[in-house]
Amino acid sequence: MQISFTFPDPLFWVVLLISIIVFILSFIQIIRYARFKIIIWLRGLALFLVLILFLNPTMEIKKEESKSLAWQIFIDQSLSMTYYKQPSSSTYLSGVSSFVNRLKQAGVQLEVYSFGSRIDTVGNVENLTLNVGSTDIGHVFKKMEEDKQKSIAGAVIFTDGQVNQGPLPTS
């Protein structure tokens, strides 16, 4: 929070000086009358508040808000992922596992899913097997569309791109 005042013109300073002198003189004149002391103090407070208003105070409150968004990771579990010699299926799984673990260590919120003929949540990436008979990547896009309301940060899809079930994704 920051409070700032505008720089007043010279007339303000003249009025301030005269007001302070009048306040002090009236206080000295009335000091012996106890019941008028309260009135003088109230006038002094009113004078102080009016002077503060002439300075045109502005208060600036800065508020920063951050929202941590989750990344969605989709891992293809189809048999077609085992057809390649380079990278091998074990290298593929260890690479995906390493990628996910590095993101988790960096504190990135993740939602990890596997897909083939359907979408499943993944508890431990290292326990994945590549044994699903088909690849329906349409489920991945449907899941991302459903989760659009949750404001996800983005999605990463690990796949060979061979779609053999369901409709082809369209842009």
**Domain spans of the chain?**
2-60, 71-158
pLDDT of 99 reads 92
pLDDT higher than 60, residue 171: no
| Residue 110 dihedral angles phi and psi, to the nearest 5° | -130, 145
Q: What is the mean pLDDT of the chain?
A: 81
* Claim: this prediction has a pTM higher than 0.75: no
pLDDT of residue 167: 62
Distance, in Å, from the CA atom of 32 to the CA atom of 47, rounded to the nearest integer, reads: 22
What is each CA distance from 77 to 89, 101, 152, in whole angstroms? 10, 18, 23
Write the CA distances from 90 to 94, 101, 122, 157, integer angstroms: 6, 16, 17, 18
Name beta bridge partners: 114. 75, 120
